[in-house]
Amino acid sequence: MSKLDELIAELCPNGVPFKKVKDIYTRIKGTPITARKMKEIACENGEIRIFAGGKTIIDTHEKDIPKANITRVPAVLVQSRGVIDVVYYDKPFTFKNEMWAYTSEDIVSVKFLYYVLKNSIQTFRDAASGMGALPQISLKVTEEFLLPVPPLEVQREIVHILDSFALLTAELTAELTAELTARQKQYSYYRDELLKPQKSIPMVTLKEIATSIYRGAGIKRDQVTENGIPCVRYGEIYTTYNTWFDKCVSYTKEEYVSSPKYFEHGDILFAITGESVEDIAKSIAYIGHDKCLAGGDIVVMKHQQNPRYLAHVLNTTMAREQKGKGKVKNKVVHSNIPSIEQIKIPLPSLEVQERYANILDNFEQICNDLNIGLPAEIEARQKQYEFYRDLLLTFAETNGSLVTDRQTDRQTDRQTDRQTDRA
C-alpha cells in the first residue's frame, strides 16, 4: 500500500466533501491595462510578470504599471478569453482585468486547485464554445465549479506525486524534443548535401521542366465539407502536409468553386502566400490517384520528373533561398508564377531521382511520422501523465476508494481505444 493509499484509508475512508471554488478560495482581481501599454513597458529584466489574453506574457517593473494590483502569493490564474487555460504562478505578477485568479492561505491547497482545474480544462473550454468567434468563459464557470476537498495531508501527497511526475515528464519531453530537433537538423543537413549542385548533374529552372503551371481557385473555409471532391487550401500546405502526400484531408463541392482548377498524381503544389520570407512558396508533391481541387493562392506545376525527388529538392536550403529572394518581410508575403519558374534545381536522371527520393523518404519518416519514433514517444509520455493526474484527482463522495467506478470506466475505455488503434 502506498503512502497516499494509507492517508486516504486513515483520513477519508468514506470519501471527501465537494465544495464550490468560491467557497474555499479567495478571488483576486487583475489590473486594467491595454495591450498597447503592455508593449510600451515590456522589458527583459522586469520583476513583475503580466499575463494577457491567450499566451501573451510580458515582464516589467512595478513602477511602470498604472493602477497596479500585484499578487505576491502563489495563485492560480484563469485565462478566460481566447486560449482557455489555467496557470500556477508563485512569483509577483498581475494580469489583465478580464481574467481572474484564486489563492488561499495554504500553498499546497493552491497547487492542488491548479491540478484539479487543469485536469478539468476541457470542461471549461466546452463552456466557452458557442460564445462568438473568440472563446470566453464567465466568472460563474469557475466560481461554481465543484472540486473534491480531501484533508490537507492528502492534498500535499497528491501534489507531491504530480509535481514529481510533471518534472520527470517535462525533463523526458525536453530530452526527446532535443533529440527530435537534432534528427531534423541531421535530415536537413544530409538532404542539402545529397542534393547540392554537382558538375555532373545539370541545373535547370522549373520553367524548363514544367509541362504546365497555373494557379488554383479560391476555396473558402465555410466551403469545406465532410465529403465531396478532395481539395487542398493553401494554409494546409504549411500546417498539415509534409514533403509529399497521397490523400487530402479536406473536401468541397465542385459547384462551390467557379472556374475550378485541378491537380493530379505527381503534381507539385506551391503555397504562394505565407507569413514569412523563409517559408514562402513551400511546396509539396501529390502522389495519390484522385483528381483534386487546388485552392486559391496555390500554384500547381505539372512535369515528367519524379515528384518525390522534386519535393525534396525544393525544400533544400538552396531552393528556399531562391523562393525568398527579393521578398520583403511583411505580415503577409507573396510569391507568383514567374518567381517560381526561375527556381534552379539539380536534375539527375530519373533513376537517380528515385534513389535519392527513397533515401530521403526513409530519413524523413523517422523524424516526422507521428505513429513511430520520437514524436509518438513524446505524445505517449504526455498522455501517461494526464491519465495518472486524472486518476489521482478523482474522488468518491460516499466511499474511500481512490479509484472510483468512473475512473475504472475511463481506464477501460482508454485501454480499449489503444487496442483498437493497434488493430
Q: Are residues 36 and 49 in the same domain?
A: yes
> Is residue 364 situated within a structural domain?
no
Residue 260 lies in a domain: yes
Residues 26 and 104: beta-carbon distance below 8 Å: yes
The CATH number linked to 122 is: 3.90.220.20
pLDDT, tens only, 405-420: 333 334 334 433 443 3
Is residue 400 predicted with pLDDT exceeding 50? no
pLDDT digits (tens, 9 = 90+) for 59-94: 999 999 988 899 999 999 999 888 899 999 999 999
Judgement on whether residues 75 and 170 belong to the same structural domain of the protein: no
Burial class of residue 234 in the structure, from the number of CB atoms within 10 Å of its CB (0-12 exposed, 13-18 middle, 19+ buried)? buried
Q: Has residue 144 got a pLDDT over 90?
A: yes
Distance CA 257, CA 252 (A): 9
pLDDT given for residue 217 in this prediction: 92
388 pLDDT higher than 70: yes
Domain limit, last residue, from 109, 132, 147: 147
pLDDT at 132: 56
Pair 139, 35 in one domain = yes
Q: How confident is the model at residue 131 (pLDDT cuts 50, 70, 90)?
A: low
Query: Which one of 147, 165, 180 terminates a domain?
Result: 147
Within-domain flag for 353: no
pLDDT value at residue 420: 39
C-alpha cell at 51: 499575463
Looking at the structure, tell me whether residues 135 and 217 fall in a common domain: no
Indicate whether 52 and 72 sit together in one domain: yes
Would you state the pLDDT for residue 409?
Answer: 39
Mean of pLDDT values over 12-19 = 89
Q: Three-class SS string for 298-360?
A: EEEEECCCCHHHHHHHCCCHHHHHHHHCCCCCCCCEECCHHHHHCCEEECCCHHHHHHHHHHH
Q: Looking at 347, 380, 409, which one is the last position of a domain?
A: 347
| Mean pLDDT, rounded, for 119-136 | 79
- pLDDT higher than 60, residue 149: yes
pLDDT of 154 higher than 90: yes
3 and 58 share a domain? Answer: no
**Domain of 419, in residue numbers:** 1-16+150-196+370-423
Task: Give the bridge partners for 95, in sequence order.
Answer: 51
SS (HEC) of the chain: CCHHHHHHHHHCCCCCCEEEHHHHCEEEECECCCHHHHHHHCCCCCCEEEECCCCCEEEECHHHCCCCCCECCCEEEEECECCCEEEEECCCEEEECCCEEEECCCHHHHHHHHHHHHHCHHHHHHHHCCCCCCCECCHHHHHCCEEECCCHHHHHHHHHHHHHHHHHHHHHHHHHHHHHHHHHHHHHHHHHHHCCCCCCCCEEEHHHHCCEEEECCCCCHHHCECCCEEEECHHHHHHCCCCEECCCCEEECHHHCCCCCEECCCCEEEECEECCCCCCCCEEEECCCCCEEECCCEEEEECCCCHHHHHHHCCCHHHHHHHHCCCCCCCCEECCHHHHHCCEEECCCHHHHHHHHHHHHHHHHHHHCCCCHHHHHHHHHHHHHHHHHHHHCCCCCCCCCCCCHHHHHHHHHHHHHHHHHHC
> Do 22 and 9 sit in the same domain of this protein?
no
Residue 365 in domain: no
268 falls within a domain:
yes
Query: Does 355 map to a domain?
Result: no
Examine the domain organization and report whether 217 and 190 are in the same domain: no
Would 357 be classed as within a structural domain?
no
Tell me if 301 sits within 8 A of 210, measured CB to CB. yes
Residue 160 lies in a domain: yes
End-to-end CA distance of the chain: 35
pLDDT grade, residue 1 (50/70/90)? low
pLDDT of the residue at 383 = 85
The model carries a pTM of: 0.62
Rounded mean pLDDT, 282-310: 96
The pLDDT-based confidence of 141 (bands split at 50, 70, 90) is very high
CB distance 102 to 19 below 8 Å: no
142 and 180 belong to one structural domain: no
Number of domains making up the chain = 3
pLDDT tens digit sequence for 337-353: 999 999 999 999 999 99
pLDDT at position 416, please? Answer: 36
User: Do residues 398 and 270 both lie within one domain?
Assistant: no
In this predicted model, which residue has the larger pLDDT, 328 or 242? Answer: 242
- What's the whole-number mean pLDDT along residues 250-262? 92
Same domain (yes/no): 318, 383: no
What does pLDDT average to over the chain?
Answer: 87
Structural contact between residues 388 and 382, judged by C-beta atoms closer than 8 angstroms: no
* Least confident stretch, 35-39, 225-229, 308-312, 364-368: 364-368
Residue 379 has a pLDDT of 80
Residues 237 and 335 reside in one and the same domain: yes
